[in-house]
Amino acid sequence: QQPVQSPQAVILREGEDAVINCSSSKALYSVHWYRQKHGEAPVFLMILLKGGEQKGHEKISASFNEKKQQSSLYLTASQLSYSGTYFCGTVRSGAGSYQLTFGKGTKLSVIP
């Protein structure tokens, strides 16, 4: 089942923070986050496994709440280069599948 991302779109001024959420109705094994700029390929950001661990990448970090089956991506002190569409991809626990199911994406626009 496709994870649900929120918000669908967000506009930030440089330096502001944002949170993007990814929720599933099923138990998850792992969550991936990707960023896609217009006309380009999605780029891998990070993987999170069940267990609530938090990971960081530059000023972008994420957490995974296993009880809520939700992952959140945190963007702090946003830069113009953060603009793009962010996708979460999930794999269900025990599903025996090895491919990601992606959400519809969150479009982030950072303006000066």
CB of 101 to another protein, least distance (A): 7
CB of 58 to another protein, least distance (A): 16
Whose structure tokens read 């994420």?
A: 62
By CB under 8 A, residue 43 contacts another protein: yes
- What DSSP string runs through the chain? ---EEE-SEEEEETT--EEEEEE-SS-EEEEEEEEE-TTS--EEEEEEETTT--EEETTEEEEEETTTTEEEEEE-S--GGG-EEEEEEEEETT----S-EE---EEEEEE-
**Of 14, 17, 37, 44, which lies in the binding site for another protein, with binding defined by CB under 8 A?**
44
The nearer residue to another protein, 82 or 87, going by C-beta atoms, is 87
Site for another protein in 69-108 (CB under 8 A): 87, 89, 91, 97-105
Which parts of this chain interact with another protein (CB under 8 A)?
Answer: 2, 29-30, 32, 34, 40-44, 46-47, 49, 87, 89, 91, 97-105
